[in-house]
Amino acid sequence: MERQFPTKVTSEQIKGALGALLQSLLYNEGASFKYPRQTQDQESKQLKDEEQESDAEEMGRYDKAMVTEKKELENKSHTKTWQNEKAAAAKLISTGHPVDSKTAWSSSWLQGS
């Protein structure tokens, strides 16, 4: 047999039903509702922490890559500077110009002494 619902519901009936439901939730089953809520909060906090750790690890890898790249660029720059100084000293020596104190170490190194 099909259950029939009233077609008109008064606001008093709605308030009464909601009040009873609220009272039931708060007083009778309050403890059982607190535990899942706490678990949800703990899970969301744990997920946030894991996400932050993951982001930190990713940033750490990014930072390490940036430091490595920066060191490589500096090494290339130093190598290029070294090559330029070596070429300049070789040019000075080959043209017979005197080598100043700044490039004196280069000239002795280029001449093999």
Give start and end residues of each alpha helix (H) in the chain: 11-23, 30-94, 104-110
Domain boundaries, the chain: 13-110
Distance CA 81, CA 76 (A): 8
pLDDT the model gives residue 46: 81
For residue 101, pLDDT over 60 is answered with no
Copy the structure tokens of residue 27: 């007083």
Could you tell me which residue, 33 or 20, shows the higher pLDDT? Answer: 20
For residue 34, pLDDT over 60 is answered with no
Per-residue pLDDT, averaged over 33-61, amounts to: 73
Could you tell me which residue, 1 or 65, shows the higher pLDDT? Answer: 65
For residue 104, pLDDT over 60 is answered with no
Average pLDDT, the chain: 72
Query: Which residue in 93, 87, 95 sits closest to 107, CA to CA?
Result: 93
